[in-house]
Amino acid sequence: MNPLALAAVAVALLLLYVIRQIRVYNSLKEFRGPPTSAFSRLWLLHAIYSGKMNLHFNTVNEQHGDTARIGPRFLLTRDPALIRKMNAVRSPYTRAEWYNSLRLHPTRDNIVSFRDEAIHNKLRTQMSHGYSGKENLHMESDIDEHLLQMFGLIRQKYISTDAQYRPLNLSRIITFFTLDVISTIAFGKSFGFLVIDDDPFEYLKQLHVFLPAIMMFSVFPEVQKIMRLPLMRKLAPQATDVTGLGKIMGFAKDVVAERFGDNKVIRKDMLGSFLAHGLTQEQLESETITQITAGSDSTATAIRMTLFLITTNSSIYSKLLSELTIAQREGHLTRPILRDSESRTLPYLQACIKEGLRLYPPVTGLLAKEVPPQGDILDGRFVPGGTSIGWNSWGLMRLTEVFGQDVEIFRPERWLPGGGQNKEQIEYMNEVVGLVFGYGRFGCLGKPVAMVELNKSIAELLLRFTFQVANPAHPFDSTCIGFFLHENMIFRVSERQEPLDFHNLQYNLSTVATDHAGLAYSNGALEVEV
């Protein structure tokens, strides 16, 4: 080809690119946003990798409206009605390309990452029974076992006295608790983090690696397509890895394998329910990885932040403790661990939990949905088909027209009669805060498990121990990148002075079994005497 022809081709390609960019720009020109967002994804990448994506997203909606532009084909919303509309059972909206980033297994999708509606709906039907607890006979007792383990570990290693200060890293121990819980109720075998008070998988360290990678894939899905090539898969986590997500993959593969073959394990847990409803061995391996990562970090954030917000406000701390001790004294709480059903009857505890979820929604990832091919009209503005719309959970939970003017304040009273909101407003607040667990056909299947953990752990920790934050000026380190990564949340913990009937519990954590992977786990090693 001669030079003139080459030049002509180059000019033609450049012209096509310019025309395409103009069309992309014009497609959402009625929506305001950061200046570069109309033609580049770099603002979005910067917001995510700043470690403060929740604050950047909230600023966008504060400055540019409840639905604003954050990318060439990307909108961000904090409008509750739009979020419900996109997630409704019969909505024409589908999961956007953003969800491709949530495929944690290198070769298989999971219930979170599937974009095919038929496959996703079938999986939800197959898995809903296991998550609801209807076919998991041990769920609450498994949670109780790990609560008692956590209390025993605190008493054994982290109780401070007048003569000795033994700091407790609350962010670490709560994550250990939720990891042990999800592994036990999911497939009947605990990781054993609480037993050894350590992270044999280096899971917490790896969170700082694979969460940024997931967010990179969510902004630039082209990169993940490259990573799915056979040659590049070798760079992905492998079941043979000795640490990190790969080690968890290996653990999941082994426990799933135990449910198959001549000497298969039969247990009424989540894994047993999934198997009974037709999931294959490969599907089970992929889903267990998702359960562990999505089911532990989000719940850990909700527990530790709610507990932090309670214990750093003396009036709230005192009021909740009064409710709990009166209920204990009057015999309304089962000992040694209250039942989930009992915790739901405690209005101030429930108000504190809702307020904690509101102020710190555990999931800040965009969870973007795709506008149907025919497009849609939002607030009188046309949005073309194929546009992605993500939610701003942080901003959603700070809408003054929903929650009142003092949205930055942890005030559980707003959820109770006489707290400044009428009955209709409280009902609407409940609807909106419920969105932290998703909605409709995209609602979180793990909500029942998370709520049982929240209801029981916060109440029991406060009944047993007194918590004092070690450094009020800098109480913890925090990174927000789809989930919250909290570190160095140091507390001084002491035994409660008020004598309680269950304070004579004795814990024996010295008997530790060892599983086939060489990791410590609890299997009847906990002895409780009342």
From the number of C-beta atoms within 10 Å of its C-beta (0-12, 13-18, 19+), residue 408 rates as exposed
Among positive and negative, which fits the CA dihedral 489, 472, 495, 310?
A: negative
- Give the count of beta carbons closer than 10 Å to the beta carbon of residue 351: 22
From the number of C-beta atoms within 10 Å of its C-beta (0-12, 13-18, 19+), residue 215 rates as buried
Write out the two tokens for 507: 């814990």
528 backbone φψ class: left, alpha, beta (φ>0; ψ -120 to 50): beta
Closest to 391 measured CA to CA, from 70, 72, 124: 70
Q: Supply angle C-alpha 235, 288, 133, rounded to 5.
A: 165
Strand partners, 363: 483
- Tell me phi and psi for residue 188, to 5 degrees: 75, 15
From the number of C-beta atoms within 10 Å of its C-beta (0-12, 13-18, 19+), residue 159 rates as middle
From the number of C-beta atoms within 10 Å of its C-beta (0-12, 13-18, 19+), residue 342 rates as middle
Helical ranges in 99-243 per DSSP H:
117-132, 139-157, 170-187, 193-196, 203-219, 221-227
Query: Are residues 458 and 133 in contact, defined by beta-carbon separation less than 8 angstroms?
Result: no
- Residue 420: helix, strand or coil by DSSP? coil
Among positive and negative, which fits the CA dihedral 472, 464, 495, 156?
A: negative
444 annotated as a binding-site residue: yes
| Cα 43 to Cα 226, 324, 364, 398, distances in angstroms | 23, 47, 17, 23
Q: Supply angle C-alpha 110, 361, 30, rounded to 5.
A: 85
Helical ranges in 367-414 per DSSP H:
393-396, 400-403
Residue with tokens 């109720």: 185
Give, rounded to a whole angstrom, the gap between the first and last alpha carbons of the chain: 89
3-state secondary structure 137-177: CCHHHHHHHHHHHHHHHHHHHCECCCCCCCCEEHHHHHHHH
Distance CA 507, CA 152 (A): 6
* Binding residue ranges: 444
- Return binding residues for heme: 444
